[in-house]
Structure 1
C-alpha cells in the first residue's frame, strides 16, 4: 500500500494593508441606500437612509453631523409695505444662489458639538448657510420686472435671509434635526434624508462630518441624483430647450381646452 504524500503547509494570508492602517485612524465612512431618485407623476416624496461607521481608536466620544445640500437656484422675494393706507409689494429682491434643499442631522445639537466660529467656517447649519450673492449690487430687468440682486442691503440683509429660510422650512425643503443621527451599534450610525414632493431635481451633495472635542476630524462626501423620468422628463427638457415654442403650445392647448369645454356646456344647456 503506497503512503499518501504529506499535506502542504498551511498558508496564512496577511491582513490587508487598509485594515491595518485604519486601526489607529480616527475617521468616518458613509454611504446611501439609494443614490438615485426617480421623479414621475406619482412621486410623493422619498426617504433615503444614510448609514456609516465611525472608526475611533480613542476613548474620547465623537459626534456625527450630516449635511445634505440640493442644487442652488435663484429665489425672488417681495415684501408687503403699507403706503398711504394701501398694502403694496416692494421692489423684488433676488438671491442668486439659495440651495433648493438643505438639511442637517446630528447626534446632538450643533451648538453642543462645535463653537460658532467652527460651524460658520464649515457652513454647517441653517444659521451658517451660505447664500451666494454678487459682490456688487446691480439691477436687471426680466420679463418686464426690475429685480434687485442682493449684495449690499445693509441691516435689511439678515431680514431677507431669514425670510428665505422661513419660506423653505414651510415647504419642508429646509430641515434641522438635532437628534437625526442615531448610533444603532458600536460605531455604526444611520440618518434619514426626507425628500418632499416639491424637491428640486439635480445633484445633491451630502457631507458626513466627524467631530471630536469641538474640532472636525474627518469628512465623507456623497452624491445623490434626483431626476425626472418618463413623460415628465420629456416635457421638462422640451420646455427648457425650446421655451418659446413650449409657451405657444401651452397657450394653444389652453385655448382648445376652453373652446371644447364651452362647446360641451353649450350643448347641455
Structure 2
C-alpha cells in the first residue's frame, strides 16, 4: 500500500540583512590587512602586505587617507665621531629609549597638503613628527651586555641626534614616507602596500588609518600586525635572550671545537 507523503512545509523567506542606522550618515573609514601575521625564518627576504579599506562618505566633500605603521620600540645607541687634537674619537654615547624599529606613512597626497603642522604633530603622523623618547637625566646603565654605558641628557643637540636616528633607519629601509602610497581603486575603496625589509624587527606592529576632511581628522581605524620568528631560528633567538651566558659559553665551545676539528682535518691532508 502506497502512503501519500505529507505536503512540504511552507517556504520561509530569509529576513533582509540589517543595516546600522547609526553609521549610514556618518563619515568614517574601515580597513583591514591581507595578512595579520608574518613568519620570519632563515630564508626571509622581506614581505609585502596589502592594506585595503573603504571610506563611507555620505557627502560630496573630498577626503584624504593617511596610513601610519609603527613597529615595536627599541633602544637605539648612538655615538658621534669628534676630532680632538687631530684624533677622531667617539663622543659620549646617547641612547634613545623609545625609537620605533619600523615606521612608514602612506597617503593620498603629501602630508603638508592634507593637514596643518599642529594636527600632524599632535597625532604623531609623519617622520618629522615622530615621537622618539630621549633620556631625561644623566645616569649609568647596562645596555647590550656592555657595562657603564653613560646616558647623558640631551640639550640643544637633541634635534641633531634625532635626525641621525631617522637617517640611519631610512638608509636601512626601516623608515619610509610615500606621499602617493594610498590609491583609490574605486569609489570609496583604497589600498596601500606595507613593505617590510629583511631586517624588519620582530614583534607587534600597529597600523593607524586616518581619514581627513578639510584638514581635520574625522575618523581612524586601528589594526595590528605580528612579525615573529618560526622554526629553529625562533628557538635559538629565545634561548640566546633567555640564557645569554649559557648561549655565549656554548658559542665559544662550538667555535673551539670547530677550530680543533679543522686543524685535525688539514693536518691529516
In structure 2, C-alpha distance between the alignment counterparts of 1:190 and 1:206, rounded to whole Å: 14
Q: Is the 8 A contact 1:96 1:133 kept in 2?
A: yes
Note if contact 2:134-2:154 (Cα within 8 Å) is conserved in structure 1.
Answer: no
Within a 5 Å distance, the mapping from 1:1-269 to structure 2 comes to 13=15, 16-18=18-20, 20-142=21-143, 143-149=145-151, 152-268=153-269
Q: Which moved more, 1:128-137 or 1:98-107?
A: 128-137
In structure 1, C-alpha distance between the alignment counterparts of 2:150 and 2:117, rounded to whole Å: 31
Tell me if the contact between 2:32 and 2:53 (Cα under 8 Å) persists in the aligned partners: yes
Is the 2:96–2:135 Cα contact (8 Å) retained in structure 1? no
Gap change, CA 1:124 and 1:148, over 3 Å in 2: farther
Separation (CA, whole Å) in 2 of partners of 1:122 and 1:202: 23
CA shift for structure 1 position 12? 8.2
Q: Is the 8 A contact 1:96 1:149 kept in 2?
A: no
Deviation at residue 8 of structure 1 after TM alignment: 7.3
- 5+ residue gaps, structure 2: 1-6
Q: Is the 8 A contact 1:94 1:147 kept in 2?
A: no
Contact 1:47 1:194 in 2 (8 A): yes
CA contact 1:65–1:210 (8 Å) conserved in 2? yes
How far did 1:256 drift? Answer: 1.1
Cα-to-partner distance string for 1:85-105 (whole Å, 9 max, x where unaligned):
111111111111110000000
* Contact in 2 for aligned 1:68/1:102 (Cα 8 Å): yes
For the residues of structure 1 that align with 2:232 and 2:38, how far apart are their CA atoms?
16
Q: 1:149: Cα distance to partner?
A: 3.1
Q: Deviations over 1:167-195 (max 9, x none)?
A: 00011100000000000000000000000
Query: What whole-Å deviation, never above 9, does each CA across 1:78-132 have from its counterpart, x for those lacking one?
Result: 1111111111111111111110000000000000000111000000001000012
CA distance in 1 between partners of 2:266 and 2:79 (Å):
40
TM value normalised by structure 2: 0.91
- 1:186-241 deviations in Å (ceiling 9; x for gaps): 00000000000011000000000000011000000000000000000111111111
Give the Cα–Cα distance (whole angstroms) in 2 for the partners of residues 196 and 120 of structure 1. 27
CA distance in 1, matches of 2:134, 2:154: 11
Looking at structure 1, the residues matched to 142 and 58 of structure 2 have their Cα atoms a distance apart, in angstroms, of: 58
Partners of 1:10 and 1:262 in 2: CA distance: 84
- The whole-number CA distance in structure 1 between the counterparts of 2:114 and 2:135 is 32
In the alignment, structure 1 segments of 5+ residues that lack a partner are none
Give the Å deviation of 1:245: 0.3
